[in-house]
Chain A
């Protein structure tokens, strides 16, 4: 019996450790500095949920200040700290930049 208990205990430890590794890998996928997917695929997968956040008026694939590093840019109609807290800082390995741009208007009239 002691031998069986020891085997069960070791199995549980292995199972728990495996779970920790899997969780860590999933977390790494969402925060990795090296994206696995094309930025446009990531954008298409997340644009609706981002636009559902209050005062978000747009999202696009752009670049960081260096004009080279790809990033997701989220546009806000006005400064809204609560909305800014809801917007992830990284999505699928791409940094997210928040811009307060104002409302986007059709420019058909004076």
Chain B
């Protein structure tokens, strides 16, 4: 189960390997843990502290999630990945905005991203290189709580993964290239 570091891993001072990963998230269940189901357990990797990515991975609890690479609103993805290209049509399925479509508006971005520290509420910044840029007018493609969405080709069936979305503003969204994410995690994609 692939996600964003801050989505699964907290700020690296709280979460530990083996911590339960629940669904829906606490915010969608009025912070009542009993209303959510445990679908995986965290495998801690600390991507934000040690890499050019914002990603995390969890070991699934058998029977709790599909294992064929199917994503709500997108269907089963390809097990192959794709590099991004300018003007490429893309889509994603996310917690806040659901399935949305856009296009790659830039490549190889160097971006300074603001993160909020969960423990003391302060803001810290991290600079990422080589990021994928996706047009995000008025947050129409990606908004808060959509981090961790997989960016895929806007084709059907079996789109290839392109990136892992993690940040944005009112005009652009940003994704780690999926190859970098998989290399960091030592993972491969499932799918057809």
Contact = CB atoms under 8 A, between A and B. Distances in A.
The contact size tier of chain B is 35 or more
A60 B109 contact: yes
Given A61-B107, A108-B6, A101 B144 contact: no
B167 A43 contact: no
Contacts of A63: 86-87, 105
Interface centre among A51, A62, A102, A106 (most CB of B within 10 A): A106
Contacts of B142: 107
B58 to A, nearest CB: 15
B169 to A, nearest CB: 4
A90 to B, nearest CB: 18
A30 to B, nearest CB: 21
Contacts of B143: 107
Interface string A28-43: 0000000000001001
Interface centre among A48, A58, A75 (most CB of B within 10 A): A58
A107 B147 contact: yes
Interface of A: 40, 43-44, 47-48, 51, 57-63, 67, 73, 75, 99, 101-110
